[in-house]
Chain A
């Protein structure tokens, strides 16, 4: 059977992708942030997996407002890289895992999560920047990927409860797959940031750190945090953090924290990163 072996969370700032692609990761500005991912790059090598389910949001790169799915899942064999206004990032195509993803999408729909099914999807920095942070610049990505886009751009976004529950259903669905696969789940986006309006540049370190603690130890309470609080305390774009609850739900009740990193700033954003492993 397939099993979720680890959870990874990380911010997905576009400028981080530019820094990787243009060889500037060792510049004074970027060096401390990339240093925080050195442990993780080694850890994913030492603890390989077959498939990464990556929970992320598209940033008006593939989905416009003509179709805005709340929860969607890619079931394709491969995902091309979006042009986000400056040409596609020079990175390998992302390969899918059609067998596991069709099983997951079907299972989740039967469990009353009305997933939008994507046979075609191009992926943007929300998915590819975390991959660059964890895997560097390989000629071919080391894992197959199942993209799980969530609407966090247009309010109303799905509730925290729904996100945590979706994660729990993913855990169940992965365990029911007939195939011996090691699967990781990633929650991306956040942490505190606001990239619009007179209040732009908002960062809230104490709030972010409490969020990290609660995500690890008390997700059952964290799921009820209202979106209004994310917006006020973590900025209008801080609401992306609800995607981390999907990751957390998929790890079961208790987790061991393998690694934590927090850094301000990357562009307009506070960077948070966790590696968690399920206790059972």
Chain B
């Protein structure tokens, strides 16, 4: 069966982590995996730039990590489960980190979740939203 990755691109505000994107983000995600040990977390936090330079990542990827720009990291091939190693190491929850990718504050986002979450209505298609 021929893969059809294009079909995922119409979902608004969503980056589907495809095998193609995984190739692009391999070194970024490898860096994230390295934060599974306390020794590496300490080294990273002591000097982020030096630690990042040990990885064969693009400058854009490194800058996105330094900026903690999670959406940018997704665009550059990162996957949220890998990126979670960055925010978990800083004591942030998924709710706190994930909310930074939305147009809400962490408090507003948490309130939305308590009220039942984000309805899919209006969020099914970029075409429907006039974004495509």
Name the contact of B16 in the complex, choosing from A68, A86, A231, A268 (C-beta under 8 A): A231
Known: A268-B94, A268-B98. A198 touches B11 (CB 8 A): no
- In Å, the complex CA distance between A260 and B11 comes to 31
Min CB distance, A194 to chain B, in Å? 7
Chain A neighbourhood of B63, CB < 8 A = none
Name the contact of B91 in the complex, choosing from A84, A86, A203 (C-beta under 8 A): A86
Q: Which of under 10, 10 to 19, 20 to 34, or 35 or more describes the interface residues of B?
A: 35 or more
Chain A neighbourhood of B46, CB < 8 A = none
- In Å, the complex CA distance between A207 and B16 comes to 20
- In Å, the complex CA distance between A264 and B117 comes to 8
CB-based contact A200/B99 at 8 Å: yes
CB-based contact A203/B118 at 8 Å: yes
User: A14 near B: Cβ within 8 Å?
Assistant: yes
User: A1 near B: Cβ within 8 Å?
Assistant: no
CB-based contact B117/A203 at 8 Å: yes
Min CB distance, B104 to chain A, in Å? 8
CB-based contact A60/B81 at 8 Å: yes
Name the contact of B94 in the complex, choosing from A153, A267, A270 (C-beta under 8 A): A267
Among B37, B81, B86, max chain A CB count under 10 A is at B81
Known: A60-B81, A199-B12, A199-B123. A86 touches B89 (CB 8 A): yes
CB-based contact A201/B85 at 8 Å: no
Min CB distance, B114 to chain A, in Å? 7
- In Å, the complex CA distance between A228 and B82 comes to 22
CB-based contact B14/A197 at 8 Å: yes
Known: A65-B29, A265-B117. A198 touches B18 (CB 8 A): no
Write the B84-96 contact mask toward A (1 if CB under 8 angstroms, else 0).
1111110101110
A contacts with B: majority SS: loop
User: A46 near B: Cβ within 8 Å?
Assistant: no
Min CB distance, A159 to chain B, in Å? 9
CB-based contact A197/B118 at 8 Å: no
User: A223 near B: Cβ within 8 Å?
Assistant: no
User: A99 near B: Cβ within 8 Å?
Assistant: no
| CB nearest to A203 among chain B residues | B117
The number of residues on chain A lying at the interface, defined by a beta carbon within 8 Å of a beta carbon of chain B, is 43
CB-based contact A196/B14 at 8 Å: yes
Within 8 A of A (CB), among B63-103: 70-71, 74, 79-82, 84-89, 91, 93-95, 98-99, 101-103
Chain A neighbourhood of B109, CB < 8 A = 200-201
Known: A15-B93, A87-B38, A228-B7. A198 touches B33 (CB 8 A): no
- In Å, the complex CA distance between A228 and B30 comes to 27
CB-based contact B16/A200 at 8 Å: no
| CB nearest to A124 among chain B residues | B81
CB-based contact B30/A64 at 8 Å: yes
Chain A neighbourhood of B86, CB < 8 A = 85
CB-based contact B13/A85 at 8 Å: no
- In Å, the complex CA distance between A275 and B32 comes to 36
Chain A neighbourhood of B103, CB < 8 A = 198
User: A214 near B: Cβ within 8 Å?
Assistant: no
Known: A155-B18, A232-B11. A267 touches B95 (CB 8 A): yes
Within 8 A of B (CB), among A82-108: 82-87
Chain B neighbourhood of A231, CB < 8 A = 8, 11, 14, 16
CB-based contact A65/B22 at 8 Å: yes
User: Which 4 pairs of residues, A with B, have the shortest CB-CB distance?
Assistant: A203-B117, A85-B88, A198-B13, A199-B13
